[in-house]
Structure 1
């Protein structure tokens, strides 16, 4: 542990216990924490979805029934089951059901296209998938040689089938998850007691080096984050937590859902797909105390006409993850609504939040870069800034941010070389260039790699470039991230064409839209004669970024 560790602990609020290991215990898992909640207060509200609500005991019953149905489908301990849904109750109780079986939820972005799904499903090889009718049609069209997972669909109509305390009907896979679960109400599953090191979540990320990799999150990893976030945000039993970060993203799955359901014993409030009107309705209708979302959430609230300080008066914490919030946005939000936005930072490889601004404190701004601090390490997390040789640098000196703690994954699925490159001597190399000051505040200055961060979603330039290169009129392409006041960064493509090719930006953008998630589609496409290169032929991305303002965009 480096010398700066004691400095950041001194910044902890009084309600935060720095001894995470003591709270974590030797045998605690997400399942044991959930069962404690059921035993302690079964009649408390666990989840809400617009005008519907579910008690802890009802969620336990539904997750038992879901686990029973999955077990009949052949799901066993260690198996992976994909969950590709918006923020709906089914997502949450499917996760609990899979944990009870010792199975592993594989969370899948609803915006994934055929390329992403084929890559991920071929690597993870889930035995089944829970998804929407629309996404099921995409999955049905995939070619997965030697691997055919079963597919179960669900939507809001399914919730009607579960409106009564018990239902008796014939399970029919074609009628949706709700009908199938209703047929299993009252059933239990074979007993499985996971260890803290048993896998509890599989999340794919572009990571710090290259194409998508599956970060394996154990019960210990997720519970460490949950205990840290619960303390940091001062989450109390019954507090309303609005699920605005997508549950198919690591922040929504762990820092919001897993934390609220297990250690925090909170009231988890769903609004489906995150839209400004739905968020505002939930804030006005329910006693929302906590918000944790990307910068786009707060920009949407700022843009929402009629939203007042009184509407947000009950909020106790306002945190933003995924990308550092510009100081100007923090000031604007506080001026209008009276709430200071606290930065919070994490990665898929750390099971989400591990660095954050202490509640009630204001993040300092680095005088040399104008960057707002992302915070200090949460309990149990150690952090260093190191040079190219991995040696800790002095406070105020730029280097790579590396992390160590029980929150960090131990491996990428099926990728031992990538694991060894990212985790060295127990330290997770983030790929982010950072500065740590004498007090322990961490500032993200730049990315060591070229990864693009769009509203907290990670975009690897090469995967977008590979799709654009499929256009026959394209000669060369470079994709970079440019600052964006709404999303943090926007995907931008610079393209040179084959001689004589008659291609416009709409043609190129349309190709990417067909193949990839919306957040990966370039917002701007510049058609230029030739891409700038070094003497060795390497494309100079920094030159493109700097010159972007002087180039006429074609789309």
Structure 2
């Protein structure tokens, strides 16, 4: 097929490249040999060298094998961005296991579902999350829980002070007693790094490195099977795209969570592969982030629009020096042009928008950072070794430029399939093409544009939120007769969750009561921010609730408000 975008590539970006077929964890081994004494991770004042991270990962992997983890077994990580999350990720791979990234915001119901679906045997989690995990342990295949704490990787005296801060912030201090099934991360780190057996029969294209959970437009999250090839390929593409970045020298701001595929690939995996220094923050706080940028001077800052917007709207923004930032690729949601322009003006660096999906590890398209004028509103062009096409939604045939259809992609970063879901895999992968479900078009030069997101999925603050999951929870409330969740426009989050509720006759329920109920069963970012009580909901002739009609109502309402203002 004709690939017009290749003519747009600057000379520094190859049209194709060859992959070295070796396991993902071998890049940490290589980095430890080449950059042993260099700082791999900076975390709240604590620094770990590449040699230290490598040794810790070997200890973790050896311990897992001692617990019975064999090649292909799933091991879950339920942590924010901390040194332990990096150590465990590579330790699991050294042991031959498959990483299952679990959002630390998940409540018991969500943890239980993911552990049951993945069949994970071991989980590493934080002390303050430990009670949630133990409540569901008996209902899953989890045999062991490894517990760590933020203080475990803090320097003195922060490690002594932090428990008091934690008690004030969360109201609890969890004391964990080790047993045959409960293990302490600190105890593992006191052990020898020896005794690790290298898994046999490695297959670069077939062996899984990661089960990354996502969801469709309906139903519950699915485990996306990502192989060593998928992740090595996408991180390598990212390195090629960032051709002005210097191996072993860049400093990367790690705010994007590693339990999100974009943060995992474009921040953690890329940094380890290239010998960069990871500056980790466990959560996004605008003031902390600005202070960190000024003090630690990151050069590479992958992020999401809400992060950049949060910084730009900080009242003391002008007091901070952000000039160290050289390049940023924004993902997870559409990047407003005004945000791009303002952020570039403040930092002097480059900020461009990319595109991808969990099913593609995740990046498939991006705008050029340097040497090319950016195309307004475009998600950019396909990355090296990546093909993309617009398919007719009626016939499935490729469409010519400027005609709207479904975006499909093909490349070595495209998933192996969905975990234990062969029918859904078959529906999404067609002859090697990944059908994204996103609607868009390509112009004559090969630049792609997204017209509409997946039909029902809500993208709020970079998180993918699936309406049915929210509806399932709210439907269990005894006062609710009907409910539908939808994404409505939000200036900060891109979209936010709104729930439209019809109460049972004679029932009473306030917005506050419903919000308290929802927070018991849903991660905070999934909880509706707006509730609207109605007597009835719009439906089709056969009784199906018309979610899109409600979304359209919100769009019209917003347009009317803008006209009046």
TM-score in terms of structure 2 length:
0.89
User: How does 1:493-512 map onto structure 2 within 5 Å?
Assistant: 493-512=499-518
Please, which moves more after superposition, 292-301 or 307-316?
A: 307-316
CA distance in 2, matches of 1:475, 1:493: 13
**Corresponding residue of 1:249:** 260
Deviations 1:283-330 (A, max 9, x none): 112230111111111011112233349722111102211001122322
**Corresponding residue of 2:56:** 62
**Corresponding residue of 1:323:** 333
User: How does 1:64-103 map onto structure 2 within 5 Å?
Assistant: 64-103=58-97
Q: Does 1:189 align with 2:184?
A: no
CA distance in 1, matches of 2:239, 2:106: 31
Count of aligned pairs between the two proteins? 532
Conserved in 2, the CA contact under 8 Å of 1:400 and 1:448? no
Structure 1 gaps, min length 5: 164-170, 366-371
CA distance in 2, matches of 1:31, 1:152: 21
Conserved in 1, the CA contact under 8 Å of 2:360 and 2:415? yes
Shift of residue 74, structure 1, vs aligned partner: 1.5
**Corresponding residue of 2:160:** none
Structure 2 gaps, min length 5: 158-177, 559-565
Shift of residue 469, structure 1, vs aligned partner: 0.9
User: How does 1:394-413 map onto structure 2 within 5 Å?
Assistant: 394-413=400-419
User: How does 1:261-410 map onto structure 2 within 5 Å?
Assistant: 261-262=272-273, 264-308=274-318, 311-360=321-370, 361-365=372-376, 372-388=377-393, 389-410=395-416
Deviations 1:189-219 (A, max 9, x none): 1123633131111110013553210001111
CA distance in 2, matches of 1:467, 1:42: 49
CA distance in 1, matches of 2:139, 2:539: 40
CA distance in 1, matches of 2:356, 2:222: 16
Q: Does 1:481 align with 2:462?
A: no
Deviations 1:267-289 (A, max 9, x none): 11112222222222221122301
Q: Secondary structure in 2 aligned to 1:479?
A: strand
Aligned with residue 107 of structure 2, among 102, 113, 135: 113
Conserved in 2, the CA contact under 8 Å of 1:69 and 1:180? no
CA distance in 1, matches of 2:220, 2:227: 22
Conserved in 1, the CA contact under 8 Å of 2:470 and 2:526? yes
Conserved in 2, the CA contact under 8 Å of 1:44 and 1:238? no
Shift of residue 492, structure 1, vs aligned partner: 1.0
TM-aligned CA distance change 1:309 to 1:18, over 3 Å: farther
CA distance in 1, matches of 2:443, 2:539: 36
Aligned with residue 29 of structure 1, among 23, 32, 57: 23
Aligned-residue CA RMSD in angstroms? 2.3
CA distance in 1, matches of 2:524, 2:211: 22
Aligned with residue 238 of structure 1, among 249, 256, 268: 249
TM-aligned CA distance change 1:309 to 1:343, over 3 Å: farther
Conserved in 1, the CA contact under 8 Å of 2:145 and 2:182? no
